[in-house]
Amino acid sequence: MKRSTTQILAKLRELMLRAQVGDSCGISAYIVPSDDAHQSEYQCQHDERRSFVSGFDGSAGTAVITTETALLWTDGRYYQQAEKQLDSNWVLMRDGLSATPSIGAWLAKNLPKGSFVGVDPRLLSFRVWKPIETELSSAECQLVPIEGNLIDEVWGEDQPPQTSNKIITLKLEHSGVTIAKKWDVVRQQLKEKNADALVVSALDEIAWFLNLRGSDIDFNPVFFSYLIVTNDELLLCVDSGKLPTDFVQHQKENNVQINVLPYASIGVEISKIVSTKESKIWIAPTSSYYLTALIPKSRRIQEVTPICVLKAIKNDVEIAGFINSHIRDGVALCQYFAWLEDQVKKGAEVDEMSGADKLESFRSTKDKYMGLSFTTISASGPNGSVIHYHPKKETNRKINDKEIYLCDSGAQYLDGTTDVTRTLHFGEPTEFQKEAYTRVLKGQLSFGSTVFPAKVKGQVLDTLARKALWDVGLDYGHGTGHGVGHFLNVHEGPMGVGIRLMPDDPGLQANMFISNEPGFYQDGEFGIRVEDIVQIVPGQVAHNFSNRGALTFKTITMCPKQTKMIKKELLSDAEVKLLNSYHQQVWDTLSPILSREGDEFTLSWLKKEVQPI
Amino acid sequence: MKRSTTQILAKLRELMLRAQVGDSCGISAYIVPSDDAHQSEYQCQHDERRSFVSGFDGSAGTAVITTETALLWTDGRYYQQAEKQLDSNWVLMRDGLSATPSIGAWLAKNLPKGSFVGVDPRLLSFRVWKPIETELSSAECQLVPIEGNLIDEVWGEDQPPQTSNKIITLKLEHSGVTIAKKWDVVRQQLKEKNADALVVSALDEIAWFLNLRGSDIDFNPVFFSYLIVTNDELLLCVDSGKLPTDFVQHQKENNVQINVLPYASIGVEISKIVSTKESKIWIAPTSSYYLTALIPKSRRIQEVTPICVLKAIKNDVEIAGFINSHIRDGVALCQYFAWLEDQVKKGAEVDEMSGADKLESFRSTKDKYMGLSFTTISASGPNGSVIHYHPKKETNRKINDKEIYLCDSGAQYLDGTTDVTRTLHFGEPTEFQKEAYTRVLKGQLSFGSTVFPAKVKGQVLDTLARKALWDVGLDYGHGTGHGVGHFLNVHEGPMGVGIRLMPDDPGLQANMFISNEPGFYQDGEFGIRVEDIVQIVPGQVAHNFSNRGALTFKTITMCPKQTKMIKKELLSDAEVKLLNSYHQQVWDTLSPILSREGDEFTLSWLKKEVQPI
């Protein structure tokens, strides 16, 4: 499993010695983040530099190479994987343990005074850069931007090129609002902030704002680009070769003119605006240090962009699309689970990977299907306890009637993005498994039915999903909810529900869509998670939080939750009612479609699964 | 109600013109915080500068005087009061509304480039200073420390002197742990942080660490002083005239020697340590900018002090004292409520002020009584909806059988500090009042009985106390819980339970004591709050959060909650059981004492109040 990094590190250290810092030469450490230049959650292969240099290919982690040693910081989800993948050149720094110093603190403690620490300033967000810079400066060291990426130099010709796939246009019937109208809102907010321009580097924000979609990053329908929005201009920095053939028509339909400039010209364009305009320039704190530093500090507004917030509050067309795509997705899920249960009962050979393939094949028959929204987590038994598990050949397990099967999956449709988890047992679950499942479900029902004042931060609702587990000393080590894009990234901000505050959360508002996904994981034995997507809707209650407004959730995921796993005596009457009514709704929504399609097989499975308890 | 500030502002503006800033002269604005030099929550009269300059005497608020205008920022609790008290020289800035800019933002927008904004650096914590400084610098203005306090100069001879009352020693039978032992723990933490010294300016931290108490600030048994703890020295900056006569004996008993220096020498002493030692110096981010700036940035550790955290986790003697003092306090409360109900039923003339006096007289008969821990909130009808109400002649209302009576009160005992709220109706509450009361009580029971993983931040539990109110669109505009000192300040950090994160919260730990106080307020009509003090204790549950440890709460306040206000149909069986069992415990604890004292009158009232529902 281990790949030797000795050669790579030797080459990198040579480059570190020669790196130019002002008039002097040489850096004592080089930081390799997992970010791309857009701080995307997922990267294309070209951008998997941290994975290349360290051998560790988990989704989160930062490598730090000094002249003496090499360290990799990653969090609890990846300790095991990192241990397996890192060779002896590397020290694993277990992020999240109180004994583990932060990157900045470690460097400040271990480097001699006056040291330079280098990083590619495109690959580190301003928000991450700042505390490292502060820690280093307290130890009289300095964090410095290094021109050109040293890893790319080491990687050389073997580095895959940046993907540059064709862009597609999203018609108004799927986007719902013209670019011109979105621009109006942004313009208004620029005015309120006394700003001349908004610099956008987040790929999903650009795609959403321009009613365009791409495929440069697996699962994420985005395309590499930068956008500058001013009061009178839209500047799109993108390789013009990937523009759609109907781009002219698209601009007409959207009542705008978009000025296209080369992808690499973003720096020049920002500098032009800095020198020709006088007011402030708005850039997200999550944008790169490189882009941010082009704007003088006194001219910056560093707040979540108005596009990010607008995108999270879905318009009527997006809402309808979300609901419809979740119905089609629910049909595919039912078809898969019905098929799977039958296969397992027959003793057929289905494993995690072939199961995931089968699910994908059901989804691919659905209208407006565009692909998966992330690699399917198809996990049997102990694999289910690995929260970010994806089946691989080495870990692939047969799906059977002795173990719990956890399936977390989702798809991209032209009219929406899905993300759903169901946990099933095809044989006899243990009492403890049933108790854990029931408490996870109680948390999900409590969270999903709660009424709350408009604009509370998602964080304040997190505990409601954990309470039933806490009652007996159980918990889960991940957040409860994340935003979901509309035919866009399956994880999107700015809001979210977890123990920790999302720093940009503007508060929960009607027509945001988030996940509701408590879980429980017994290390090395099994995992349980039940996940729905919920729409935030007005709450119908007697009072209205002193005119602040009442909100609640509406579940749009349509797929039964296995009642065999439930210990009914742990549910309150209200919870039983909520569950039965959800199942009735699933039946009312999906059964006509299955009937129409003549899928009696799935229909009879569904009938069984939605029986009231 | 309004006092003219015209003269005061004129004099102040003269001084502002003459204020020296480096080589130049004159500041464009002067900030007057409500802090004293120790960032105390309550101040002695000498330190009520903001109140003197503005006429507004609420507990929270900051005045900003420019050459042109004068502004007062205060939060929602005080909008009405500020409107009444500010004269026409002042503009009220309603803090907490999204349209209200922060002080820094307002100044940055309204002052010309290059302006200086002055403040007494002793009266602003580093944590508050920093963001104002940043906002100003982004507008090319500067926040500057001004030597000598300009308000004191204007106030002149009329300013009350700083109080300087005699200090008393707290014997080991009440403190539980010698200073030497506390010092050992601090020394260990200094070592871990590679620090030479700890600078302490918070008065309750100094009092607790040194097993001393004072009376320089009403209700808070503290004394004006600064403390520096190094590995081999304890330096106490205090006016030596106020030291207790048994101070030598006290040091012997506590196995330490304390070097006493003049109160005003703290700055010199910090500078000495900076120049003679080489390692870091620890100071809380809540200490003043003045003290903090004496330590070079690279030498500072700016974290909550180890004393603050140690103080919050009570030792065995403190725990026993807390429990015992709450029992004695409970007897006094029952005696008062029994008397009050009888008076009201008789139609006697009892008003909010005379009621509060009567309660104080009952408390003052109790063993180890030292005084009140805050001004009693004795509030009838609409006054109860003013969250920080204290009865005054102008607002004083008769306590009667038509309105809800809210009583939030507490006392200082040698062995503990109490804080308790009960809400009663001596006639017939409305259905809505009963519903609100019951939902407040549900929240209190839910919060008070919750099991949670050790070291979660208090914030994550806040919603549990609100859920039952949220279910019908109701809420309350204050936090759910605050720490309580041991014969010390009734509000203490570093932990707390509220919508917002307490930035220094180290996570909830066994033997911390906090309040559990949800409420509901119907503006201009009534207020409801039920408040107990709870001890954090190990939770007895089947699992143990993967060895993280399970915690829960134990209520130590001993006073019945009026069952007449309850709509039983809104309570679950579990909630009814919790309430009945609490009342049984109150009866078992208090009735033997009342019997022993021969107080049959209170005993028969108590008997009635604790009847199971």
pLDDT score, position B465: 98
The residue-averaged pLDDT of B42-46 equals 96
d(CA B451, CA A472): 8
Give residue B324's region: left, alpha or beta (phi > 0; psi -120 to 50).
Answer: alpha
Closest CA relative to residue B332, chosen from B360, B368, B355: B360
- Report which of B322, B319, B275 is spatially closest to residue B295, judged by C-alpha positions: B275
pLDDT of B3: 81
Contact across the interface for B298 and A452, Cβ inside 8 Å: no
Helix (H) / strand (E) element for B65: namely strand B62-66
Q: Is residue B435 pLDDT above 70, yes or no?
A: yes
Taking residue B612's Cβ as centre, other Cβ atoms within 10 Å add up to 11
Amino acid making up residue B469: L
The per-residue pLDDT of chain B, averaged, comes to 96
Judge: B461–A463 Cβ closer than 8 Å, yes or no: yes
Average pLDDT over residues B220-237: 97
Residue A96 is predicted with a pLDDT of 84
Residues of A with CB under 8 A from a CB of B: 137-140, 297-298, 300, 450-453, 456, 459-464, 467, 470-475, 499, 501, 539, 541-546, 550, 572
Chosen for mutation from A543, A545, A571 (greatest number of chain B CBs closer than 10 Å) is A543
The CA radius of gyration of chain A, in Å to the nearest whole number, is 25
Task: Tell me which chain A residue has its CA closest to the CA of residue B523.
Answer: A546
Cβ–Cβ contacts within 10 Å for residue B18, how many?
A: 11
Looking at residue B310, its pLDDT comes to: 98
Is B177's pLDDT higher than 90?
yes
* Interchain proximity A460–B463, CB inside 8 Å: yes
**Torsions phi, psi for B199 (to 5 deg):** -100, 125
Q: A51 is written with which tokens?
A: 């994975």
The segments of chain A whose pLDDT lies below 50 read: none
d(CA B515, CA A69): 50
User: Can you give the pLDDT at residue A1?
Assistant: 58
| Of B139 and B525, more confident | B525
Residues in chain A closer than 8 A to B464 (CB atoms)? 463-464, 467
Length of chain B: 613
Asked whether the beta carbons of A146 and A19 are under 8 A apart, the reply is yes
Choice between B501 and A18, residue whose per-residue pLDDT is larger: A18
- Give the chain B residue whose CA is nearest to the CA of A463: B460
Mean pLDDT of B338-352: 97
Q: Which of A297-301, B6-10, B531-535 shows the lowest mean pLDDT across its residues?
A: A297-301
Our CA dihedral for B552, B554, B557, B560, rounded to 10 degrees, sits at: 100
Residues of B with CB under 8 A from a CB of A: 137-140, 297-298, 300, 450-453, 456, 459-464, 467, 470-475, 499, 501, 539, 541-546, 548, 550, 572
Candidates B300, B459, B473; nearest CB to A545: B473
Quick check: B1 pLDDT over 70? no
List the one residue out of B354, B411, B352, B365 whose CA is nearest residue B602.
Answer: B365
Q: What is the pLDDT of residue B98?
A: 81
Among residues B25, B48, B24, the alpha carbon closest in space to that of B36 is found at B48
Distance CA B109, CA B102 (A): 11
Q: What is the mean pLDDT of residues B426-440?
A: 98
**Residue corresponding to tokens 């900056």:** B237
CA angle A502, A507, A508 (to 5 degrees): 110
Spatial separation of the C-alpha atoms in residues B34 and B41, rounded to whole Å: 9
pLDDT (tens digit, 9 = 90+) per residue, A359-386?
999 999 999 999 999 999 999 999 999 9
Query: Cβ–Cβ of B460/A463 closer than 8 Å?
Result: yes
A10's tokens: 């030797």
Reduce the DSSP state of residue B23 to 3 states and report it.
coil
Answer yes or no: are the C-beta atoms of A108 and A29 closer than 8 Å. Answer: no
Lowest mean pLDDT among A2-6, B27-31, B194-198, B560-564: A2-6
Amino acid at A486: H
Tell me the two tokens of residue A183.
């621009």
pLDDT digits (tens, 9 = 90+) for B254-291: 999 999 999 999 999 999 999 999 989 999 999 999 99
d(CA B404, CA B287): 41
- Burial per residue of B484-519, b for 16 or more beta-carbon CB atoms within 10 angstroms, e otherwise: bbbbbbbbbbbbbbbbebbebbbbbeebbbbbbbbb
CA angle A599, A602, A608 (to 5 degrees): 135
A148, A154, A158, A160: CA torsion to nearest 10: -30
Q: Which domains are assigned to chain B?
A: 5-158 (3.40.350.10), 168-304 (3.40.350.10), 316-605 (3.90.230.10)
For residue A494, is the peptide bond before it cis, meaning its omega torsion is within 30 degrees of 0? yes
* pLDDT digits 0-9 by tens, B370-429: 999 999 999 999 999 998 899 999 999 999 999 999 999 999 999 999 999 999 999 999
Region at B457 (left for phi over 0; alpha for psi -120 to 50; beta for the rest):
beta
**Looking at this predicted complex, what is its ipTM?**
0.94
| Residue from A431, A433, A474 whose CB has the most chain B CBs within 10 Å, to mutate | A474
Average of per-residue pLDDT across B340-346: 97
> Model confidence at B574, in pLDDT bands (50, 70, 90)?
very high
CB B234 within 8 A of CB B259: yes
Asked if B473 lies within 8 A of A543 by C-beta distance, the reply is yes
| Residues B505, A258: Cα–Cα separation, whole Å | 49
| pLDDT tens-digit map of B442-453 | 999 999 999 999
Distance of CA A396 to the CA centre of its chain: 24
State residue B68 phi and psi, 5-degree precision. Answer: -100, -40
Please give the C-alpha separations between residue A545 and each of A12, A534, A548, B52, in angstroms, as whole numbers. 59, 22, 5, 37
Q: How far away is chain B from the Cα of A428, in angstroms, using its nearest Cα?
A: 23
